[in-house]
Amino acid sequence: MPRYELSIETHFSAAHQLRGYQGDCARLHGHNWHVKLRVECTELNALGMGIDYKTMKREVKAALEKWDHYNLNDIPPFDTINPTSENVARLLCEEMQQRLNNERIRVSRVEIAETCTAKVIYWP
């Protein structure tokens, strides 16, 4: 069965520190986190679209508002779990699934990059 995968990219800025980590990342530091959201579908709507990119951008922006320009360690659940790239990707993916998944669309993966050379990809 043919599938379409659509993606948008965005970013947010946030500080974090890794509890229990032996190294530089144990100290408070910040990143311009790069985000790639991917959704897939097998059917197009009446306009020939899987999902409007504007919808994807609006929903990911709304999801990231609570993290943008904050210290992630101060925000639940990162006040109890480490704000690693892996946890950030999983939690963002879970929220985007709630916001976007329907009978035609499903979030297929979320990529989070702390730097241009270090990223994680989370598949639900």
Give me the domains of the chain, ranges plus CATH numbers.
4-122 (3.30.479.10)
Tracing tokens 């599938």 back to the chain, one arrives at 3
- What does the alpha-carbon distance between residue 70 and residue 80 come to, in Å, rounded to a whole number? 16
pLDDT band at 1 (very low <50, low <70, confident <90, very high): confident
pLDDT at 13: 98
Tracing tokens 């990143």 back to the chain, one arrives at 31
Q: List, in sequence order, every beta strand (DSSP E) within 17-124.
A: 29-41, 70-71, 105-115, 118-122
- The mean pLDDT value for 11-19 works out to 98
Please say if the pLDDT value at position 45 is more than 90.
Answer: yes
**In which element (H, E) is residue 85 found?**
helix 85-100
pLDDT at 2: 85
pLDDT band at 90 (very low <50, low <70, confident <90, very high): very high
